[in-house]
Every structure is written in C-alpha cells, then in structure tokens.
Structure 1
C-alpha cells in the first residue's frame, strides 16, 4: 500500500438520536466532536436512523405482498380473452 493516501481508520461513537443508543464502530468518518463512553474518548457522530430504530430491523414494518405489473394486467383483462370469437 502507498503511504499517506489512506484516510485514518478509528473507532467512532455513532449516536442514534431517535432511540438514544450508541454504537462503537470502526470508521474513516471525520468529525470535530468527541464523547466519553465507558472511560474512553471517541469521535462522536449523531445519526437519525440505525438498525436499532429502523422499522425493518425492529419488526414494526409490515411486508405487503403486491403482484407485479403483468399479474395485475392479466387479472384485470382475463375476461377479454374469453369474449373473443
């Protein structure tokens, strides 16, 4: 690897502000803010959505089964084929 071309990789405290949960993750993000967690100081970055608050990961999202465009077309016009003749 070439020296001095890669960004600094460090542990960063991401804060999901919607559920007030912190994640310590390795990242190359740059931030001027810091926070102390568990006796260690980390760069701090607030986020709006994470796996702790997103409906898909929390199980609050409902999956809706929807037919494709072709199935909708066939269902809508299935009687036209039988009227020919």
Structure 2
C-alpha cells in the first residue's frame, strides 16, 4: 500500500443533533471542533443531520399515509368511481 495516496483514517465522533446521540467510530472525516469522550481523550466531532438514532426507518416512527383520506379527496374531486366512460366524456361517434 502506498502511504501518500490514502487519506488519514482516524477516530471521529459523529453527533446526531436531532436525537442528541453521539457515537465514536473511525473515519476520514475532518472537523475543527473537538469533544472529550467518555474515555478522557479528545476527538474531532462531526455534526450530522440524521443518523440511525433519528431516521424513521430505524426508529419505527415512520409517517403513516392516510390512504382513506386520499381516496375520499379523489372521489370528492372527480366524483364517485362508477365506471369507465362516465362524466364529460364524449360518445366518440360525432366526429365528422
């Protein structure tokens, strides 16, 4: 492995602002901010918008889709579903 071609791989703390959660891992990410970790050492800290602690897929707090409300809005807007060819459709035989 050539030493000059690879970025510095070091310990970094990633802090999820939304969940108030931080975890220590190894990364090539750099930051000017530092934090003192539980082991007493100081590590660079990178703030992230979302992590597995706050992502709806991992937390199980995904938004539920109101499908019944969507169907009611559709029927209100376009009329009840009575079949094909109802409404303002022409009969198709009047073209000259």
Same fold by TM-score greater than 0.5: yes
Whole-Å separation in 2 of the counterparts to 1:3 and 1:12: 21
Match of 1:7 in 2: 7
The 4+ residue runs of structure 1 with deviation greater than 2 A are none
Whole-Å separation in 2 of the counterparts to 1:55 and 1:26: 25
Match of 2:30 in 1: 30
Whole-Å separation in 2 of the counterparts to 1:51 and 1:29: 18
| TM-score after normalising by structure 1 | 0.69
Task: In structure 2, list runs of 5 or more residues that go unmatched.
Answer: 66-83, 85-96
1:43 deviates by 0.7
1:4 deviates by 1.4
Give aligned pairs, total: 66
Structure number with higher helix proportion: 1
Q: CA RMSD in A?
A: 1.6
| TM-score after normalising by structure 2 | 0.62
Whole-Å separation in 2 of the counterparts to 1:59 and 1:45: 25
Structure number with higher strand proportion: 1
Higher relative contact order (CA 8 A, sep 6+): 1
Task: In structure 1, list runs of 5 or more residues that go unmatched.
Answer: 65-78, 80-85
Secondary structure, counterpart of 1:56 in structure 2: helix
Whole-Å separation in 1 of the counterparts to 2:14 and 2:21: 8
